[in-house]
Amino acid sequence: MIFLGKARLFSFLVMSHFVVKFCIGGDVITSTEYIQDPGSITSSGGLYRMGFFSPNGSANRYVGIWYNNVPTYNVLWVANRDNPILDSSGVLTISDDGNLVIMNGKREILWSSNVSNSVTDAQAQLSDSGNLSLLKQSSNSSANNPETLWESFQDMTDSFLQKMKLSTNSGTNEKQALTSWKSPSDPSIGSFSASLDLRNIPELFIRNGSSLYWRSGPWNGNIFIGVPKMQSVYINGFNLVDDHEGKVYLTYSFAETSYLSYLLLKSNGDLVQPYLDQNSSSWGIVWSSRESHCDVYGQCGPFGICNANKSPICSCLRGFEPKNSEEWSRGNWSSGCIRKSLLQCNGTTNGSSTAGTKDGFLKLEMMKVPNSGIFYSTLEDECPGNCSINCSCVAYAYDPGVGCMFWIGDLIDLQKFSVGGTNLYVRLAHSELDDKGHLREIIAPIVIIGTLTVTIATWFARRKAKKRALKESMEKHLSSGETPSAMLGQNMSRVEFPEFVRYKIEELAAATGNFGENNKLGRGGFGPVYKGRLPNGQEIAIKRLSRASGQGHQEFMNEMVVICKVQHRNLVRLLGCCVEGDEKMLIYEFMPNKSLDTFLFDPLKRVHLDWRTRFNIVDGICRGLLYLHRDSRLKIIHRDLKASNILLDEELNPKISDFGMARIFGGNENQANTRRIVGTYGYMAPEYAMEGRFSEKSDVFSFGTLLLEIISGRQNTSFHEEDQCLSLLGLAWKLWNEDNGLALVDPNIPVTCFGMELLRCINVGLLCTQERAKDRPSISIVISMINSEIVDLPRPKQPAFTARRTTQDTDSSGQSQKTCSANDVTLTVLHGR
Ligand SMILES: *[C@@H]1O[C@H](CO)[C@@H](O)[C@H](O)[C@H]1NC(C)=O
Ligand SMILES: *[C@@H]1O[C@H](CO)[C@@H](O)[C@H](O)[C@H]1NC(C)=O
Ligand SMILES: *[C@@H]1O[C@H](CO)[C@@H](O)[C@H](O)[C@H]1NC(C)=O
Ligand SMILES: *[C@@H]1O[C@H](CO)[C@@H](O)[C@H](O)[C@H]1NC(C)=O
Ligand SMILES: *[C@@H]1O[C@H](CO)[C@@H](O)[C@H](O)[C@H]1NC(C)=O
Ligand SMILES: *[C@@H]1O[C@H](CO)[C@@H](O)[C@H](O)[C@H]1NC(C)=O
Ligand SMILES: *[C@@H]1O[C@H](CO)[C@@H](O)[C@H](O)[C@H]1NC(C)=O
Ligand SMILES: *[C@@H]1O[C@H](CO)[C@@H](O)[C@H](O)[C@H]1NC(C)=O
Ligand SMILES: *[C@@H]1O[C@H](CO)[C@@H](O)[C@H](O)[C@H]1NC(C)=O
Ligand SMILES: *[C@@H]1O[C@H](CO)[C@@H](O)[C@H](O)[C@H]1NC(C)=O
Ligand SMILES: *[C@@H]1O[C@H](CO)[C@@H](O)[C@H](O)[C@H]1NC(C)=O
């Protein structure tokens, strides 16, 4: 790692001083192994280099970190950004007080890591993630796990690398920020900063000084919904993580390892994502926060809408006119627009409205939603009603990952996208709603159920509080014996709580003919399921849990209440439970059409499942799953998604069942009963099957298998092609590669009509079953994919559990057999975990 070898790549360095006085081979700096301008060190894997540099157009010397072996110069971190060395006398070393310091020729300290409790034998190390850390070597701390005193990843400048965490404290809103350079030749702190804002729905903001310059739109659990390009680059894993210790942070990983990529806040305020294909010699830009003038915050003022494809870019929303038409026509849009007609809501006090004068909602498609939305976790259908009952609510939107969002006051920073975006509904007076195609009348509320009281609190804090309140009330309930819904009435009106009933065992015995055999619907992994009829005529399904749950009574009840709160039209509704002695039973709504497998894998019934019905089922499963995955605190990983766990209502709408089981039975993988009951052969993701690691992506794997089953009408687990022992996944992959994907499709489906859609779904199925979890899309991406919102699907690689066909395999069936059974053996072993 001698610097000289790479010198030609760094012609921007001052060559004449090119004498490495204290040449160090390694990746560390200590008080004796220090570097002097123009020396440098590289990280152990050679990816990063740290040393002295001058920015383009400046003679000042700085210490920075940049990519090693990369033709163009990209400084990723600067130490003494506000305090340059004016000549080439700089030294980077460990000072007497144990800090990493930069000194000039007069031994003046220009920069210090400034850790107060450092030790004299500390050393600095540049790791292969680009993280420079000051480590405590002394005393006790073992060599492989030294204590970190300071790290450059915590002290970021303008670049955001993989594994960095851009965090914000959800309580105090104290933020870490990327800060721009002043100019390309001056690394000192410029006016732009980028940080995560949690006061509302989490959002990334760029500020110029203290004023907002750009916003990402709300985070919906997968993407920032104001960044339409984020949808198509699913392979770039941005994620927002709640560390459960008061901090929420943004991380980012770029899955494609043959590219270098990071995020950079440029001195002009643009956040960009440069990438370098390692074969090529120049950096490209994947994405930029400013693709047009519309991306500048509030470009068109309040109630103005920006469309980059129009000239002029700004216009007023329908029903609005420029506040200052003279300025507006001169292209000064800052004052925005005002309503032409007052809302009816403002004109009457008695609330009743005569037909024909009701306010309505104007639907705007593919929008960047305005700033400062308030969210409410309700279902999509309740969104318009929730907005219309409150006169202050001027617009609403719905995103499945957020819930209902609405806005009061001015609508600022509206943008019309040409791809992606969200539907936004803006409240207008009836007189402005002439085009019936676009209006959505306000449903006059017959009874005003609740008020729209949403505190402006953080996303995560709210959820935390909600859960805590729920738990507390539950504990109270358990001691008092009240039903939670009654008890919650007074102080918890904002938590929407379903009727939750504790049944008596006698009631259930009566309803099921004493749990008679002829009332038995089947047997699930958790125990038998019975059909029952309550005295009031209501039909119910009763799941009698096998006795060995790892949980105590109280935990079980707490968990029940949490699961009970989870409601979605694609999830089976839990009505209540019964806990007496050793007996634990769950009571669900009854589904007359039983489960998907009884249709799908029955040659006679399968005929009735046409493609539209199947697609509706697929879509419904996705939506139910998204609902389970979206909540970072209550997040539910199903862990046993399969055809028999998809129930069908009268209209064959799918409802996921058994979704709380993994939670109810405790997440501890070491518990014997958990090992026994969770997961089903053929649906388990490899990382789950082999290592017991589960995540949303393991559910996505199961979903992918299910999707291929729905398309083919064949069961993954019980099927063998005549000649080869291919699984359904193996067959799908083989046919896909032979460009014959449609041969997989159930012969009952006319491929001529739905060819493209079927191929798209097979493609998605293969993507969902990729070997590596990070190669699988998240469920929200799956929704966008199957609904063709993402047009270009990535090409799948070989899915998991497909017999790998090596060259020997092809010449004898015996060999091929061996490959298969090897695969089976692996799984059998796993199955026993
Ligand atoms: C340095 O600046 C000049 C002129 O501004 C530009 O042409 C050149 O590409 C820059 N070099 C680098 C390495 O950025
Ligand atoms: C170093 O830290 C001390 C207290 O921790 C602080 O007062 C001082 O301003 C810091 N100095 C620099 C240069 O950051
Ligand atoms: C930075 O590096 C240190 C030591 O190499 C390590 O302990 C720390 O976890 C790293 N930080 C990040 C964010 O990777
Ligand atoms: C030293 O190590 C021992 C055992 O590993 C530990 O109990 C003790 O707290 C350590 N002391 C310091 C100062 O880290
Ligand atoms: C940033 O703010 C400064 C000071 O308010 C202003 O002069 C400058 O024009 C702003 N920059 C941009 C790009 O808006
Ligand atoms: C880079 O080059 C190697 C060999 O020259 C080639 O195999 C590889 O596909 C290239 N990678 C990219 C991303 O172009
Ligand atoms: C734009 O219009 C507002 C009033 O609508 C005015 O105060 C402001 O000075 C104008 N800006 C420019 C640059 O003309
Ligand atoms: C109340 O509603 C009636 C029509 O239902 C309307 O005639 C009357 O003007 C309203 N009252 C007020 C104060 O607006
Ligand atoms: C939203 O509407 C639903 C159904 O009308 C209602 O149950 C719920 O309480 C409303 N939520 C709010 C916050 O008003
Ligand atoms: C109703 O009128 C008041 C003032 O008269 C105004 O401040 C408010 O924004 C109006 N509300 C709506 C929804 O237009
Ligand atoms: C309407 O919503 C706002 C914001 O959530 C709230 O402050 C206000 O009290 C609500 N008004 C009514 C009548 O519910």
Map 751-810 to HEC letters: HHHHHHHHHHHHHHHHHHCECCHHHCCCHHHHHHHHCCCCCCCCCCCCECCCCCCCHHHH
Query: Which has more confidence, 192 or 801?
Result: 192
457 Cβ inside 6 Å of ligand 11: no
At residue 15 the predicted structure's pLDDT band, cuts being 50, 70 and 90, is: very low
Question: CA 729, 733, 736, 740 torsion: positive or negative?
Answer: negative
Neighbours of 353 (CB within 10 A): 16
Task: Say which residue the tokens 């617009």 belong to.
Answer: 395
Cβ of 148 less than 6 Å from ligand 3: yes
At residue 693, the pLDDT reads 65
Enumerate residues 6+ apart whose C-beta is below 8 A from 153.
129, 130, 131, 133, 161, 163, 164, 165
Q: Which ligand has its closest atom nearest to the C-alpha of 328? A: 7
Banded pLDDT at 484 (limits 50, 70, 90): very low
Higher local confidence (pLDDT), 57 or 139: 57
- Cβ(537)–Cβ(613) under 8 Å? no
The residue ranking higher by pLDDT, 603 or 689, is 603
Separation between Cα atoms, residue 762 and residue 678, nearest integer Å: 27
Residue 228: strand, helix, or coil: helix
Residue 203: the pLDDT is 92
Type and span of the H or E element at 463: helix 459-480
Q: Could you read off the pLDDT of 443-471 as tens digits, one per residue?
A: 433 333 332 223 223 344 444 444 444 44
Q: Is the pLDDT confidence value at 761 over 90? A: yes
The residue written with tokens 């899915």 in the block is: 799
Mean pLDDT across 524-548: 80
Check pocket membership of 350 for ligand 8, CB cut-off 6 A. yes
Ligand nearest to the CA of 70: 1
Residue 87 a catalytic site member: no
Three-state secondary-structure class, residue 812: coil
Beta strands in 170-256 (DSSP E): 178-183, 186-197, 203-208, 211-215, 236-242, 247-254
Least confident piece of the model among 197-211, 224-238, 401-415, 514-528 = 224-238
What is the best residue among 117, 139, 140 to mutate for testing ligand 4's pocket, by most ligand atoms within 8 Å of CB? Answer: 140
349-359: average pLDDT: 54
- The ligand with the least distance to the CA atom of 116 is 2
Nearest to 643 by CA among 583, 725, 712, 578: 712
* Pair 568, 621: CB distance under 8 Å: no
CB atoms within 10 A of CB 741: 24
Which ligand is closest to the CA of 357, given by its number?
8
CATH of region 596-786: 1.10.510.10
> Is the per-residue pLDDT at 63 higher than 90?
yes
SS3 for 285-334, per residue?
EEEECCCCHHHCCCCCCCCEEECCCCCCCEEECCCEEECCHHHHHCCCCC
As a whole number, mean pLDDT of residues 473-483 equals: 36
Residue 59 alpha carbon to ligand 6 centre in Å: 37
Please state, in angstroms and as integers, the Cα–Cα distance from residue 620 to each residue in 539, 615, 745, 754, 798, following that order.
Answer: 23, 8, 20, 19, 27
| pLDDT (tens digit per residue) in 233-257 | 334 567 777 777 788 888 887 655 6
At 768, is the pLDDT very low, low, confident or very high (cuts 50, 70, 90)?
Answer: very high
- CA dist., res. 805 & res. 799, Å (int): 13
Q: Which residues pair with 595 in a beta bridge?
A: 647
Residues with CB under 6 A from ligand 1: 12, 56-57, 72-73
Max CA separation in the chain (angstroms)? 95
Give residue 408's pLDDT.
92
Residue 765 token pair: 């199925």
Strand 35-36 relative to strand 91-94, pairing: antiparallel
Which range, 595-599, 816-820, 824-828, is most confident?
595-599
Residues 390-439: tens digit of each pLDDT: 888 999 998 876 778 999 999 999 999 987 788 999 998 887 776 544 44
Most confident of 16-25, 275-284, 334-343, 427-436: 334-343
Ligand 3 closest atom vs CA 131: 1
Say what the pLDDT of residue 245 is.
Answer: 79
Is the alpha carbon torsion for 182, 186, 189, 192 positive or negative?
Answer: positive
- Output the pLDDT for position 721: 44
Residue 303 has pLDDT above 90, yes or no: yes
Is the predicted pLDDT of residue 809 greater than 80, yes or no?
Answer: no
501-589 CATH fold: Phosphorylase Kinase; domain 1 (3.30.200)
The DSSP secondary-structure symbol of 4 reads G
Asked if the peptide bond before residue 312 counts as cis, ω within 30 degrees of 0, the response is yes
Of 717 and 770, the structure prediction assigns the larger pLDDT to 770
Q: Which amino acid is at 154?
A: Q
How far, in Å, CA of 476 to CA of 610, rounded?
50
User: Mean pLDDT of all residues in the chain?
Assistant: 76
Residues 6+ apart with CB under 8 A from 597: 642, 643, 644, 646, 715
Q: Are 766 and 732 in contact (CB under 8 A)?
A: yes
Compare 269 and 229 and report the one with higher pLDDT. Answer: 269
Please give the distance, rounded to the nearest whole angstrom, from the Cα atom of residue 515 to the centre of ligand 10.
61
Q: Which helix (H) or strand (E) holds 533?
A: strand 527-533
Ligand 3 atom with the smallest distance to the CA of 165 is 13
Peptide bond into 38 cis (omega under 30): yes
Q: Which ligand 2 atom sits closest to the C-alpha of 111? A: 13
Please tell me the distance between residue 327's alpha carbon and the centre of ligand 7 in angstroms: 7
More confident: 105 or 379: 105
Q: Does any ligand 10 atom lie closer than 6 A to the CB of residue 343?
A: yes
How many whole angstroms from its chain centre is CA 452?
A: 27
* Ligand 11 touching residue 788 (CB < 6 A): no
> Which is it for strands 393-399 and 403-408: parallel, antiparallel or unpaired?
antiparallel
Q: Give the other-Cβ count within 10 Å of 813's Cβ.
A: 12
For residue 53, report the distance from its CA to the centre of ligand 1, in Å. Answer: 14
Structural domain spans, the chain: 1-155, 294-433, 438-480, 501-589, 596-786
Q: What is the pLDDT confidence band of residue 189, given thresholds at 50, 70 and 90?
A: very high
DSSP for 672-720, please give it. HHHHHHS--TTT--HHHHHH----HHHHHHHHHHHHHHHHH---SSS--
Beta bridge partners of 168: 175, 248
Q: Is the pTM of this model over 0.95?
A: no
pLDDT tens sequence across 601-656: 888 888 889 999 999 999 999 999 988 887 545 678 887 788 888 999 988 999 99
What confidence tens digit (pLDDT) does each residue in 18-43 have?
333 344 458 888 888 889 888 899 99
Q: What is the mean pLDDT of residues 463-488?
A: 38
Task: Determine the residue of 153, 154, 159, 243 to mutate for testing ligand 3's pocket, defined as the one with the most ligand atoms within 8 A of the Cβ atom.
Answer: 153
Assess whether pLDDT exceeds 60 at residue 231: no
Which atom of ligand 7 lies at the shortest distance from residue 332's CA?
1
Q: Tokens 């399904």 sit at which residue?
A: 541
Q: For residue 728, what pLDDT is reported?
A: 85
Q: If you average pLDDT over residues 517-538, what whole number do you get?
A: 81
Which class does domain 1-155 fall in? mainly beta
Is pLDDT of 62 > 80? yes
Residue 89: other Cβ atoms inside 10 A = 15
Residue 622: which of 764, 833, 526, 805 has the closest Cα? 764
481 pLDDT above the threshold of 60:
no
Segment 753-779 mean pLDDT:
91
Annotated catalytic residue within 197, 242, 399, 640: 640
Residue owning the nearest CA to atom 9 of ligand 10: 409
Q: Which residues pair with 368 in a beta bridge?
A: 415
Q: Does the pLDDT of residue 472 top 50, yes or no?
A: no
Cα(301)–Cα(200) distance, integer angstroms: 21
What's the 380 CA to ligand 9 centre distance in angstroms? 11
**What mean pLDDT comes out for the span 49-65?**
93
* CA dist., res. 494 & res. 39, Å (int): 62
Return the residue whose CA atom lies nearest to atom 1 of ligand 4.
140
Residue 813 in contact with ligand 7 by CB distance below 6 A: no
Q: Whose CA is nearest to atom 7 of ligand 6?
A: 279
Most confident of 119-123, 442-446, 558-562, 785-789: 785-789
Residue 179: the pLDDT is 96
Letter for the amino acid at 132? L
445 or 745, which is more confident? 745
